[in-house]
Every structure is written in C-alpha cells, then in structure tokens.
Amino acid sequence: MKQSYLLAGISSGNLMRLLTRNGFSLHPKYLARVLFLLQGSLFASFLKRMEKSKMGSKLRDYTMTEDPVFIIGHWRTGSTFLHQLMSLDNKLVTPNVFQVSAVDSFLVSEKYYKPVMTKLMQPTRPMDNVKLGFYEPQEDEYALIKLITDSPLEKMLFPKDDNYFLRNYSDYYPENIEKWKKLFYSFCHRLSFIGGKRVLLKNPFHSMRLPLLFEMFPNARFIHIHRHPYDVVPSTIHMWHVVGNENKLKNRSSKFGVEEVSKMMSKLLDYVRKHLKDIPEHAKIEVSFDELESNPEATIKKIYQKLDMVPAPDFGQKLKDKLAET
C-alpha cells in the first residue's frame, strides 16, 4: 500500500465530506487514488454499521476508568521509539496500524482487513526504516483524519497553495470542538474496551492541543520528548514531502524548507512549555532523545516513577528483549 494509505479505511460519508469540501485533481494519478478510496470506503461503511450493531450495547455499558497517557513533541524527535517501548507494557493499550486504518470498525473487522492489509503493506515506513506491520503501534492522528475529518493533515492531502501546511496555530484546533471531543473520546473509549486497559497515545499534533486534552482528561499523563533541531528539521522536511507526495489528491506541491519547519518547531516548543505549566508536576515529564537513546531502560523507569505509573510485571523483561533486537 504505497499510496493513499492515510485515508484508506475511511467511511464513504466522511470521504465525500472531504472531497466536497476540497475537490480533487482529475489527473489520472490522483483520480486513481480517489477511486481506490471510494471503493474501500463502501466496505468500511458496511463494517462501521456492523460494529455499531454488534458492539453498541457493550460499549455503552463499559466505563473507561483511567485517563490516557500522551506522548507529545515535534515530529522526528524519537517519539516513535518511545511509543514502541511503552507499548510493550501490558497494562497499556495503544492503537496499531490496523486500528487507525479501520477506525470505525476495529472491534469487529480484523479478520476482514488482515489478509488484505498484510498483503499490501510495505515492511517499513516510507520515510525511514522503522518497521511497519499490522500490529505495530501507530499515531492516532491517522485515525482522527478518517474519524473526524478535521485535522491539519487535510491541508497536506488537499494542498491549496505552496505554503507549509502546518504553519498556522488555528489549524491544530478543530472548528467544531464539541464534535471533535465527542469522537476523540469515543475512539479512546473503544481502545480501552480492549482488555479494560489504559490508553497510550503518541501524536505530535496533540502537542498543540494540550489545554483541550487536559480539559477532557484531567488525570491524564503527558510525556514531552525533544531532540536537537539539527537532527529534527531536515528529517521532518523529508518526511512530509514523502508522505504528502504519496497521499495528496490534488496536483499541487507545497514548497517549504528549513526556515518554515524551524519556525513551526520553535512555535510548538514554546506552546508546549507554556501549557505544561498548567499541568500538575506528577502528571508531566520532559525527556530528551539523547537520554532515551543512550539509556532507554533508565529513561523508561524515570518516566514511570515521575508519572506514578506501575507497569505490568513482565514489562522489564519485554523491554530488555526488545532492546536486544535493536
């Protein structure tokens, strides 16, 4: 699945909302992407109705008892590595590649999607060599663009000008906040339903939503990871060009480079540190990629102690085994 993977699995109603709002290019390359998404959206809509029918009453009876754990920070700061390590904790549940794809139906649709997705998926992510698999952890923004259709990713998928699509603060906050909150909470609730676990989310976009998330989840935990801009900025430019070219539905390219990405990174860091001040000490921690890379076990231990979290008994051994593989 080398193209259009960000919207693959979207329901037909939400896909039509995006296409109606933004339009798309009739160039054969982009028309083929739209037709691929339309075909898949019909299947996704059928499975969405199936989940509501089969799981509706069970979900209404289930209560999520713990607020999520959020990993935030700019792109390319090591958040994926941290996410992968913490996802080994059996007390936590985190969205995987399948779940962010089948966002409306993942409680009932695994057996339908797995044969197709495992055949189409590439072994690594398109922008780097990080493993990509059906059950690998994935950031939830890729679910939210399909579930809510109100994400900064929309401007990357449907570019309207040459500017950096992440340049504006306002784009991170949804236009309809109450709708966003309702659907985002529902997504977390459905994840938590799987084994009654605490939800772990990694999403750089959430860095600019801190006040909203803290309002929704006053007992949440926040982990901010940062890295030197020298490493982050070029990698971010490369990532967005690759992901954009493989997913956009309009024949236009954004032209951005070091200056635009550096400015946005500075804004994001200022915003995070400003709003982290409003969060209780026991609920937040900042770590650097350097310390995580040089001593991952000690860094993970520090995170859990600071956030007053107790891992599953076998987490330590799983962590050692995972690190031995890398």
CA distances to 93, 199, 217, 239, 297 from 195, in Å: 8, 11, 20, 34, 26
DSSP 118-181: HHH--SB-TTS--B--TTSB--THHHHHHHTS-STHHHHHS--SSS-TT--GGGGS-SSHHHHH
The verdict on residue 302 lying in a domain is yes
Amino acid at site 173: Y
Q: Tell me the average pLDDT across 52-69.
A: 98
CB distance 67 to 218 below 8 Å:
yes
The verdict on residue 58 lying in a domain is yes
Residue 109, pLDDT score: 98
pLDDT in tens, 139-186: 999 999 999 998 999 999 999 888 899 987 676 788 889 999 999 999
Q: Which two tokens stand for residue 177?
A: 């906040």
Q: Tell me which residue of 6, 85, 79, 75 sits closest to 249, measured CA to CA.
A: 6
CATH number of the structural domain spanning residue 110 = 3.40.50.300
- In the chain, where do the E strands start and end? 69-72, 92-93, 198-202, 221-226, 284-288
Residue 254, pLDDT score: 78
Q: Tell me the average pLDDT across 97-123.
A: 95
The verdict on residue 93 lying in a domain is yes
Residue 1, pLDDT score: 58
Residue 129, pLDDT score: 75
The verdict on residue 220 lying in a domain is yes
The verdict on residue 308 lying in a domain is yes
The verdict on residue 239 lying in a domain is yes
Domain coverage including residue 224: 12-325
Q: Tell me the average pLDDT across 116-134.
A: 86
The verdict on residue 4 lying in a domain is no
Q: Which two tokens stand for residue 68?
A: 């999520």
Residue 241, pLDDT score: 92
Number of domains in the chain: 1
pLDDT in tens, 258-298: 999 999 999 999 999 999 999 999 999 999 999 999 999 99
Q: Which two tokens stand for residue 215?
A: 């309002």
